[in-house]
Structure 1
Amino acid sequence: MNGLCRTNRIDEAFKLLRSMKRANLEPSVVLYNTLVHALCRGGKVGRARSLSSAMDAAPSAVTFNILISAYCAAGDPVRAMVMLEKSFDLGFIPDAIAVTKLVDLLCTRGRAAEAVEVLDRVEEKGGKVDAVAYNTLIKGFCCAEKPQVGLRVLREMERKGVLANVRTYNILISGLCNAGKVEASSELFSEMRNDGISPNFETFDMLIRGLCSNGRVGDGLDLFAIMQEERGDYGNRISPYNSILYGLYKEGRVEEAIEFLHRMASAFPRAVDKSLTILRFCEFGNVAEAKLVYDQMVKEGGVPSALVYAGLIKALCEERRIREAFDLLNDMMGTGLFPLISMFNALVRGFCDNGHWRSASKLLEEMARRGCAPDAGVDSNWKDKRCHTKQECEQPRSEIYRDSYCG
């Protein structure tokens, strides 16, 4: 039976099952579970459920582990929870893997509160919830922009004697940073170190990024120095460096950003050379050459810094290549970097200079939504040029504006 199921010869497996019954051989629950698992693996979860209900042998905990996991893989949390309750009724407690899959599915569907209830039910029945399941739940709350609830889950798991690990803290630090709660992230970082949990690259990377993105580049630089002192450069991964560049540029410390970029040359000679080449081309108006170097950099797997994006967007706008500048802004946001006010301003000017008033208006609205105020020159430029005639004011929205901008 195992051989037939492993090679996906399901019809032959069922023939063997019928032959056994005709010979008055009673199939064991292990044999049935093998067939149930093969059906689930082939996407025939309903048929597997029917077989589990009709089998001669009593189902086991493994039977329910298989079915719960299969329904989760099929994206069906309702039937997975039905199987969970049925397993409880029969005195079984699903294993940690099946429970974690159900928690993950519920959190993915925005139903983290129900995931809490699932874990509570498992514990009520005498089951143990491990750190992996709690981490999955914490991640669900962080993804739902509720990191403070995730913090409460951390305290609850500690109260129950479940030890948090570096993954637990990384999830929370990331969630808090994304919510702009950098002080809480820093406190959590200190807490994990005091508890003897060593931060890894992801910990440093996320917190440096959070600090620099929220106006605390000085603290980001201090943490960067600690990372280098304690852990080295982690194989010369560039993301913390780009976070420092972003923070410096965001605070208007452009000269320091350029200086820091030069300091990166020993660790990232190719990336720094390409970045400086792009900036030089942009400075002297050779935008086509700058774009070619940028495209090559991305093709080779390089991650452009905020300086590169800012220089290229400004240069493209000056050449009235607004569509390309807008695409580049979207690319930048795709890497997790928030566009600077200067980039918004350059695009607004570009839209106005090209007569795309509606697009400029939409971009200004987006800036306001994100808490960015255009400078006086941009606001005046838009107001002065916006409505020379009623016809211009009512022209259709330019195709340059794309709804995908906000992500």
Structure 2
Amino acid sequence: MPTSIGAPPDEDIFVTIVRGLGRARMNRKAIKVLDLVSHFKKDPSLKICNSILDVLVKENIDLARDFYRKKMMGCGVHGDYYTFGILMKGLCLTNRIGDGFKLLTLMKSRGIRPNTVIYNTLIHTLCKNGNVGKGKSLMSEMVEPNQVTYNILISAYCQEGNLIQALLLLEKCFDKEFLPDVVTVTKVLEILCNKGRVTEAVEVFERVSEKGGAVDSVTYTTLIKGFCSIGKPKVGQKFLKEMERKGCLPDVNTYNVLIFGFCESGKLDLALDMFSEMKTDAISPNFVTYDVLIRGLCSGGRLEDGFKFLDEMEASKGRGGQVSPYNSIIYGLYKENQSEEALKYLTKMGSLFPKAVDRSLRILSFCDEGVLGEAKRVYDQMIEEGGLPSALVYVSLINSSCQLGNIREAFEMMNEMIGHGYFPLATTFNALISEFCKEDKLSNALKLMEEMVGRGSLPDIETYNCLIDTLCRRGDLQGAAGLLQKMIENGIVPDYFTWNSLLICLTQRNDMAKKQKVVIMHEGAVDQLRQV
């Protein structure tokens, strides 16, 4: 020891011992360093006491508080900003917010004004526990809130979706010539983009960039995702080029966002270009890349390409044991009206996903037998286990519900199907439209047809016949004739059932003049379709 050469150890040596005990996770033994200090007939300094307190806080906040009250104050060491900062950190780490406020009061009673670090520690804990408003109120007590204060509160308001408060604080942050950090900027951009306010997100992004603020690949990716979400992936692609020019390298997530955007916009060739570009840039595709691309290709009618990328995914070991890309293949087959092939493919998947395939086949079997209750039970079990039902499962449940007259369940199931990204074919819509018509809920049936058209699925002869027949049974010949005209304009040839519904309606009304008009409409329709 230094005493062997006549030099007593200074406080830095004791601090080093304390920190060493902390690193060795012998935190409680750090208290005995005070005895070592006394051994050399020295009074413990504030620096030594603070170092012990910092180690004890990591072990137990109550132990640290006890040390402060009994040992430090007992030695006449009352503490400084750093002391109270350590205690505040310990209280906040254990979410003892009430005790944190008491500590603030204690400091003020002793004439010590809490510094920015202490306030920020408590504000951060308030925000983390959902008390953002209280955190904002606490900010008003501060003499000089700093950049960290604004980052904490802006991020917290973004987290709870309070965009107005987040933007107000962001503006104040700029006014004080503070720059929000990259995490905060990204959160602001994300919430703006999620609300479709992408132009405002660009404005915030540009202001931060012009002032020299930091942005990274996550920030750019967030902005690109925003443009993709409003159907403008090409604009997002321009930001990809910009980030590359500025030396901010895109990662696999950036490319995944763009591939998804182009797939959603129906620009499948551009999505494939993005896939090729990322491979050229030595960025390896991950599971999400293949999943998004396979779904886009199968949804867009390019089933053969979907199979090709599925093979590539399996060869690259990027499958990750997840069923989603395989379900996309089933959806592609369903969209091509190849339901039998889809069923065969589902059965083949049994070796890869035995539980999911077993559940699916049981649901299909119960639906075929008309045992909807059992089918729904297995479906609920599948969902609870985190399973992803295929389009075949949804279609079977919808058709079975319709056959049994459970129109509400069928409609709910169709919404779930659409929510999972599987848009039903006209045949599936027709099952629901037919049930609405049977229950004389014509307005619901017509709305469903409008939704069907709005999502790019064209009504067929069965759709129109069902609606025309219902209108005729209601005696609404004008409405039926209007639908007949739309039907012809869409190149669908009216059949026996179409004309029969119209003529029966007229017979019941005994209106010979209008019967003749229907015959003329029939002849005109034939001529019009010949021209088509």
> Normalising to structure 2: TM-score of the pair?
0.67
What is the alpha-carbon distance in structure 1 between the residues aligned to residue 247 and residue 387 of structure 2? 43
Whether the aligned pair in 1 keeps the contact of 2:310 and 2:325 (CA below 8 Å) is yes
From the superposition, tell whether residues 61 and 244 of structure 1 become closer, same or farther in structure 2 (CA, over 3 Å). same
Which residue, 453, 460, 481 being the options, matches 1:368?
Answer: 453
Matched-pair contact (CA < 8 Å) for 1:40–1:48: no
Query: Is the 1:282–1:315 contact (alpha carbons within 8 Å) kept by the matching residues of 2?
Result: yes
Is this contact kept in 2: 1:112–1:141, CA < 8 A?
A: yes
5+ residue gaps, structure 2, are: 1-83, 480-532
Q: Give deviations 1:97-153, integer Å, cap 9, x for gaps.
A: 122222223223332222212222222222221111111222222223332222222
SS of the equivalent of 2:387 reads coil
**1: CA distance, partners of 2:256 / 2:155:** 26
Are 2:125 and 1:47 aligned?
no
**Which residue of the partner structure matches residue 238 of structure 1?**
323
Listed one character per residue, the Cα deviations across residues 174-197 of structure 1 (whole Å, up to 9, x for unaligned) are: 222222222221111111111111
Q: Please, which moves more after superposition, 286-295 or 163-172?
A: 286-295
Secondary structure at the aligned position of 1:328 is classed as helix
Match of 2:120 among 18, 26, 33: 33
Picking from 307, 312, 336, the partner of 2:421 is 336
**Equivalent in the alignment of 1:153:** 239
1:323 aligns with 2:408: yes
Please name the residue that 1:304 is paired with. Answer: 389
- Of the three residues 299, 309, 312, the one matched with 1:226 is 312
* Pairs within 5 Å for 1:160-309: 160-234=246-320, 236-309=321-394
Given that 2:287 and 2:318 are in contact with CA atoms closer than 8 Å, whether structure 1 keeps it comes out as no
- Aligned residues of 1:115 and 1:137 also touching (Cα < 8 A): yes
Deviation per residue, 1:185-216 (Å, 9 max, x gap): 11111111111111111111111111111111
- Which AA in structure 1 matches 2:188? L
TM, length-normalised to structure 1: 0.85
Report deviation, 1:358.
2.5
- CA distance 1:111–1:13, shift in 2 (3 Å): farther
The alignment partner of 2:266 has SS state of coil
| One-letter amino acid matched to 1:240 | P
In structure 2, how many angstroms separate the alpha carbons of the residues matched to 1:317 and 1:135?
44
8 Å Cα contact 1:37/1:48 also seen in 2: no
In structure 2, the CA distance between the partners of 1:33 and 1:346, relative to structure 1 (3 Å rule), is closer
User: In the alignment, residue 190 of structure 2 is paired with which amino acid?
Assistant: D
State the Cα distance separating 1:87 from its structure 2 match: 4.2
Aligned pair 1:93/2:179, yes or no?
yes
- 1:117 and 2:117 matched: no
SS in structure 2 at match of 1:338: coil
C-alpha distance in 1 between matches for 2:296 and 2:473: 44
| Mapped contact 2:258–2:271 kept (Cα < 8 A) | yes
Q: Deviations over 1:144-171 (max 9, x none)?
A: 3332222222121112111001111112
> Are 1:10 and 1:39, in contact at CA under 8 Å, matched by a contact in 2?
no
Amino acid at match of 1:219: D
- Could you tell me which residue of structure 1 aligns to residue 436 of structure 2? 351
| Residues 77, 308 of structure 1: alpha-carbon distance in 2 compared, 3 angstrom cutoff | closer
Deviations 1:29-85 (A, max 9, x none): 433433444555532133233123xx1xx5443233234334434544455445445
Cα RMSD (Å): 2.7
| Inter-CA distance 95–314: structure 2 relative to 1 (3 Å threshold) | same
Contact 1:39 1:47 in 2 (8 A): no
How many pairs does the alignment contain?
386
Alignment of 1:12 onto 2:102: yes
* Counterpart residue type for residue 181 of structure 1: K
Task: Measure, in 1, the Cα distance between the counterparts of 2:120 and 2:371.
Answer: 67
Distance in structure 2 (CA, Å) of the matches to 1:232 and 1:75: 35
What is the SS of the residue equivalent to 2:141? helix
Quickly say closer, same or farther: Cα 1:64–1:253, change in 2 above 3 A: same
Secondary structure at the residue paired with 2:213? coil
Percent identity, please.
49
What is the correspondence of 1:118-137 to structure 2 with a 5 Å cutoff?
A: 118-137=204-223
Q: Partner letter of residue 312 of structure 1? A: L
Alpha carbons of structure 1 residues 80 and 349: separation in structure 2 relative to 1, 3 Å = closer
The residue type paired with residue 280 of structure 1 is S
CA distance in 2 between counterparts of 1:331 and 1:108 reads 22
Is the CA contact 1:320–1:354 (under 8 Å) kept in the aligned structure 2? no
CA distance in 2: counterparts of 1:377 and 1:68, whole angstroms: 55
Change (3 A) 1:202 1:390: same
Contact 1:204 1:224 in 2 (8 A): yes
For the 8 Å contact 1:88–1:125, the answer to whether it is kept is no
The higher radius of gyration belongs to 2
Provide the rounded CA distance (Å) in 1 between the counterparts of 2:119 and 2:446: 65
